[in-house]
Amino acid sequence: MTERSIRPSLADRLVALAHSRWLLPVLLLVQVIETSVLPLPYEAAFIALCLAARGRIWVFVAVSVLGSAIGGSIVYAIGAAYFEPVISRLGIEALAATYTERFADRGASYIFLGGTTPAPSYLINLIAGASGYPYWEFLGIFSVSRFIRFFILGGLLFLFGPQIVGVWERSPRSVKRALWVVLLAGLLYWFVTGFSE
């Protein structure tokens, strides 16, 4: 048994806190970090936590949405604060203005997809801040998209419990990979063609 297999995972650590008063603050912090700084396996931890305490699923959904909103706002603020100095230093103001205008046209759909799918939400939220996309509109769209994401996941776990997880785990690995590849390729194509119009 390797050291890696002995070390508790994020899911194990959260499940150990499932009935602790510290769970919700820790869950909020983890989601803020996952959305703004470090790509953590949050969905896996969320699923394990919901299965360990199914009576609190909707509380976990609410905390996850709040953490996403805070983390997304941090990334937005970074984009808003550092975009202009970097662009001026590189001397590409005209190019930046073109991309800012294009993001303003389709930004809502980019933000929504960034919140509901495995699309790179860090990048999208950063561009939203950099392009001057209205903050409250950004926050509303991103929060709603994250609510939909966690509401669907939490709802499936609430209704079906471990069975829904078992169905996914029993699916062939090749099928899972194919689904992710098709989804990510489609999102990437849509994102790139949208900016190249």
* Predicted confidence band of residue 6 (pLDDT cuts 50, 70, 90): very low
pLDDT, mean of residues 29-42: 84
Residue in the block written with tokens 């929060």: 143
Whole-number pLDDT of residue 173: 63
Query: Which residue from 48, 58, 40, 61 is spatially nearest to 18, judged by alpha carbons?
Result: 48
pLDDT value of residue 5: 42
Look at residue 74 and tell me whether its pLDDT is greater than 70: yes
Q: How far apart are CA 83 and CA 35, in angstroms?
A: 19
H-assigned helices in 17-92: 23-36, 42-52, 57-90
CA terminus-to-terminus distance, the chain: 53
Which of 50-54, 79-83, 150-154, 191-195 comes out lowest in average pLDDT?
191-195
Whole-number pLDDT of residue 143? 96
Stronger pLDDT, 196 or 10, i.e. the higher one: 10
Per domain, the residue ranges of the chain are: 3-196
Dump pLDDT digits (tens) for 39-64. Answer: 777 888 888 888 888 888 999 999 99
pLDDT greater at residue 155 or residue 42: 155
Amino acid making up residue 80: A
Task: For residue 184, name the pLDDT band (cuts at 50, 70, 90).
Answer: low
Taking each helix axis as running N to C, give the angle between helix 57-90 and helix 42-52, from 0 to 180 degrees, rounded to the nearest 10. Answer: 170
Asked which of 34-48, 111-125, 169-183 is least confident by mean pLDDT, the reply is: 169-183
**Radius of gyration from C-alpha coordinates of the chain:** 19
Q: Rounded mean pLDDT of 90-111?
A: 73
For 131, phi then psi, to 5°, come to: -85, -5
Q: Is the pLDDT of residue 181 over 80?
A: no
Kindly report the pTM of this predicted structure: 0.76
